Structure 1
Amino acid sequence: MKYYQATLLVRGIRRNIILKAYDRADAIKKIKKEYQGTLIRIKETSAPIDATVREFFSQFKSTVATKRVQPRNLIAAIRQLAVMTNAGISIHDALNEIANATNDEKLKEILTQASENINAGLSLSETFKRYRYDVGGITLAMIELGEQTGNMADALSGLADILEEIQENIQKFKKAMRYPMITLAAMAIAFTILIMVVVPKFKSIFEKFHAELPLPTKILLGIESVMSNYGLYVLGGLVFTVVMAMYFYRNNDDFKYKADQLMLKTYLIKDIIFFATLNRFSIVFTELVHAGIPIADALDTATSMIDNAVMREKLEAVKVSVSRGVSLTEAFRDTGVFENMIIQMISAGESSGQLDSMMRKVTDYYRMRFNHILDNMSSYIEPIMLAVIASLVLLLALGIFLPMWDMARAVKGH
C-alpha cells in the first residue's frame, strides 16, 4: 500500500491529511467516505516516520510472534470443507461450521474472516490471498482451480492429498535430521564444557612457563576468553541476527532473492529446494492442465505458489515465452532448469496432445527424486557431521597436548 497526501477544503479552511491506500482511486474513495469537504488536491507521498516505525514493529511482531496454523489442523479443515461442499452446503456456512469446531486459534481467525469476506462478495481465493503465509501457495492455487473449474469439492480433496504428502515429507526430513542434530548438539555441549572448565586450568599452567604457544592452543584460549567475557553478548547477537534475518526474508524482496540464491548454491540444501519446488510446481501445473485450464493461465497459477524467488523468476520466464507464442517445450528448455529427459517427455506430451498424462509422469519423477533425497538424508549429512566432530576433537587435542609436549621437552632439556 502507498501513502497519499490530500488537501481538503472544509468550511472554508484548508486541511492536509495523510492516508494509506492501494492506489489513487482507492485513496479518493476513502476520502469521500471518511471525510467531509471538497477535495482540492491529492498526491503520493512518503510514509510518515511514526507510521514507518509502527509498521516495522507490526511486521516484526507478525514475523516472530504470530501463531502459525498447525498443518494437521489445516488439512483437517480442508477435508471437512471438501466433504461439506460436496454435500451441497454453501462455502459460507461450511467455513462458519469448521471455524466453530476447530481449536486452532489462528485457523479459526482465518476461517471466520473468510466467511465474512465471502458474505461481502469476495471469492474464497481472494480471501485466502491475505493469509498466503499461513495457508501456503499450493492452497491458493488449488482453490483458484476449484473456482475456475466450478468443482471446488474435487479441488479441495486433491489439495488435502497434496498437503498430506508434503507433511509426510516434512516428517521424513525431521526424522532424518534428528540423529545428526542430537549428535552435533551433544558434541557442542561437550566442547563448551571443556572450553569453560578444562582449558582455564591449563591456561594457568601455560602462563607460568611463558612459552610460545602453538596456533591451536591460541585458538582455544581465544574461544575461552570470548565465551567467558562476552558469552551472553555473543548469544544475544546470534539470536538478534536470526530474528532480523527472518524479518528481512519476509519483508525485503532484495534480501529474500539473495538469500534464496545462496541457498541454491549450498550443499544438500540446493537439492532439497530444487526438487521440492519442481515437484510442487509440476503437481499444480498438471492438475490445472488436466482440468482444461489454458497453458498460460496454468503456468501463471503454478508459478505464483513458488516460494523460492530465484526458481520463481526462472519459471515465470516460461509463462512469458508461452504467452509470446513459443512452444511449451522450448520455453522449458530455455530456463536451463529441466533435464533433457524431462524436456523430451514434455515434447512428446505436447506433440501427442497428452500433455497432462505426460506431466503426471514428470511429477512422479520429481516426487521420486525428492523422496530419494529425504530417505538418504543421513548418508548425505554423515560426512559433514564426521568432519565437524573430527575438527573439534583435533583442535582440542592439539591445543592441549602440543604445549604439554613442548613443556615436557623443555624440562628434560633443562
Structure 2
Amino acid sequence: MAVAAKNNKDKVKAQDTFTWVGVNRRGKIVNGELFAETIQDARTQLKAQGINPTKVKKKPKPLFGGAKKIAPKDIAVLSRQIATMLSAGVPLVQSFDLIGKGHENANMRKLLGEISLSIQAGTPLNEVLREHPKYFDDLYCDLVKAGEQSGALEGMYDRIATYKEKSEALKSKIKKAMTYPIAVLSIAAIVTIILLVFVVPQFQQIFASFNAELPAFTQMVIGMSNVLQNNGLLILIAVIIGAALFFRAYKNSRKLRDALDGYLLKIPVFGMIINKAALARFSRTLATTFAAGVPLIEALESAAGASGNAVYRNAILQIRDEVSSGIPMNMSMRNTKIFPDMVVQMVQIGEESGSVDDMLNKVANVYEQEVDDAVDGLSALIEPMIMAVLGVVIGGLIIAMYLPIFQLGKIVS
C-alpha cells in the first residue's frame, strides 16, 4: 500500500497544465485549462466530460516567476472549503478532487492531487498531511487525527477552518500595524539620501562663491552629504553585510530570537499589540485543541508553539510542567506572572464549571477585538506622526540649504 501511494505521488508530480479548445454535446465551442500527465491524458479527460477536443497544448511556463507559492491563507481557505463540502455530504476524496481541479494555483492543484491519490491508496488523512509539513503543521495534523479517530471529521474541519481563519486574520492585523510605518519611513530615508547626494552638492557649489562662513546647521548637512558622496558605496555594503549577518544569526541562534522576542514586548504601543496577539493565539489554540479532545498536556504544547513569542512559549511550557504534576492550570498561569488577571479568572471559572474551551474562546474573542481596535487606533495615530517626521526631515534639509541665502540677503540689504 505504501508503494502504491509513492507511485501515485510520483505520477502526480509529472502532471502539467494544458489549455484546450473543443466542442461540447450541444455543439458549442468551449475552452479552458486542465491538469494532466500528457496531451493524450488531457484528451481522454475531456472526452469523459462529453467534450470533443479540437486543440490541446501544454501551457507554457511563465518566463519570470512561475506558479504562485502556497500561502498560509490558501490553507485557511482550503480548510473552509473542505469543511463546507464535508458538511454537504461530499466524500473526502471527491472534495479534494473538486477543489484541486478548480484551483487557479498550479502548486495547490499538485498538492491536492497528491493528497487525493494517497487517500485513495488507503492512507489516513492525518498521515498524508504530515508528509507536507511546510503547509500542515503538527497542530493541524493532530486535530485531523482526533477528528478521524472520533468519527467526527466534518465537525473537526469546521473548527480547524475557524481556527485558521482567526489566526490569519490576526496575523494580517499585526502585519498591517508594522508594514505602514516601515514603508513610509523607508521612503523618507530614500528621499533624504537623494537630496543629500544630488541636491545638496548643487547648493554647495553656490555657497563656495559666497566667501563667508556658513551656518552650523548648513555645515552639518553638507558634511553628511560629503560622507555619503565619498563613502556611500562602502556604507551600503556595510549595511547589507550587517543585515545578512544579523538575519543569519537570528536564524541560527535561538537565544538571540528569544532575547529579541522579550525586547519586542517592551516597545511602546507595538509591544502592547504583540502582547495581546500572543494572548489571543494562546487562547484560541488551547480552546480549539481542548475542545477537539486533545489531552491538556499536548494541547498546551501546541499552544506554546502557536503563541508566536518566546516569552509566552516558555511560560506556557512552564504551565504544562506544573499541570502535569497536578497543579490547576489557573494557578500555574498566575505563577508565570505574565497572564492578565482576567485571563486567569476566566480559566479558573472554566475549570470549575468544566467549560475551559468556552472560556478560552471568549478570551480569544476579546483579545482579537482589542488587537483590531489597537491596530486601527495606531494607524490613525501614526499617520500624522509620520507626516510630522517627514516634514521635519525634508523641511530641515531645505531650511539648511536656504539659510545661507537668507543671511546673505540680510547682509546685502
CA offsets, 1:9-48, max 9 Å, x none?
Answer: xxxxxxxxxxxxxxxxxxxxxxxxxxxxxxxxxxxxxxxx
The verdict on how the C-alpha distance between 1:362 and 1:377 changes in structure 2, with shifts beyond 3 A counting, is same
Q: Contact 1:141–1:302 (CA<8 Å) still a contact in 2?
A: no
CA offsets, 1:62-90, max 9 Å, x none?
Answer: xxx99631345323322333344456666
Q: Contact 1:177–1:378 (CA<8 Å) still a contact in 2?
A: no
What is the match of residue 200 of structure 2?
199
Note the C-alpha offset of 1:161: 2.6
CA distance in 2, matches of 1:88, 1:393: 63
CA distance in 2, matches of 1:249, 1:216: 39
Q: Contact 2:276–2:370 (CA<8 Å) still a contact in 1?
A: yes
What is the match of residue 60 of structure 1?
none
CA distance in 2, matches of 1:68, 1:295: 35
The verdict on how the C-alpha distance between 1:405 and 1:80 changes in structure 2, with shifts beyond 3 A counting, is closer
Q: Secondary structure of the residue that 1:376 maps to in structure 2? A: helix
Number of equivalences = 349
Deviates more, 1:268-277 or 1:120-129: 120-129
Note the C-alpha offset of 1:277: 2.1
Give 1:290-329 correspondences, 5 Å limit.
290-329=291-330
What is the match of residue 70 of structure 1?
71
| One-letter amino acid of the structure 1 residue matched with residue 203 of structure 2 | F
CA offsets, 1:151-179, max 9 Å, x none?
Answer: 22222222223333444455556667787
CA offsets, 1:163-215, max 9 Å, x none?
Answer: 33444455556667787567556644543443234311221234445666555
- Say what the alpha-carbon RMSD is for the aligned residues: 4.0
CA distance in 2, matches of 1:259, 1:113: 39
| One-letter amino acid of the structure 2 residue matched with residue 195 of structure 1 | L
Give TM-score, length-normalised by structure 2.
0.68
CA distance in 2, matches of 1:135, 1:214: 62
CA distance in 2, matches of 1:125, 1:241: 42
Q: Contact 2:140–2:160 (CA<8 Å) still a contact in 1?
A: yes
Deviates more, 1:185-194 or 1:372-381: 185-194
Q: Contact 2:143–2:292 (CA<8 Å) still a contact in 1?
A: no
Where structure 2 has 5 or more consecutive residues not aligned to the other structure, the ranges are 1-65
Q: Does 1:349 align with 2:341?
A: no
Q: Does 1:366 align with 2:367?
A: yes
The verdict on how the C-alpha distance between 1:164 and 1:360 changes in structure 2, with shifts beyond 3 A counting, is closer
What is the match of residue 267 of structure 2?
266
| One-letter amino acid of the structure 2 residue matched with residue 164 of structure 1 | E
What is the match of residue 157 of structure 1?
158
The verdict on how the C-alpha distance between 1:238 and 1:120 changes in structure 2, with shifts beyond 3 A counting, is farther
The verdict on how the C-alpha distance between 1:134 and 1:174 changes in structure 2, with shifts beyond 3 A counting, is same
Q: Secondary structure of the residue that 1:310 maps to in structure 2? A: helix
Note the C-alpha offset of 1:331: 0.8
Q: Contact 2:163–2:288 (CA<8 Å) still a contact in 1?
A: no
CA offsets, 1:106-139, max 9 Å, x none?
Answer: 4345445545666788654455456555456764
Note the C-alpha offset of 1:258: 3.1
Q: Contact 1:283–1:363 (CA<8 Å) still a contact in 2?
A: yes
Give 1:280-295 correspondences, 5 Å limit.
280-295=281-296
The verdict on how the C-alpha distance between 1:404 and 1:145 changes in structure 2, with shifts beyond 3 A counting, is farther
| One-letter amino acid of the structure 2 residue matched with residue 267 of structure 1 | P
What is the match of residue 6 of structure 2?
none
Alignment identity in percent? 29
Note the C-alpha offset of 1:323: 0.7
Q: Secondary structure of the residue that 2:389 maps to in structure 1? A: helix
Note the C-alpha offset of 1:282: 0.8
Q: Contact 1:68–1:134 (CA<8 Å) still a contact in 2?
A: no
| One-letter amino acid of the structure 2 residue matched with residue 339 of structure 1 | P
Deviates more, 1:157-166 or 1:110-119: 110-119
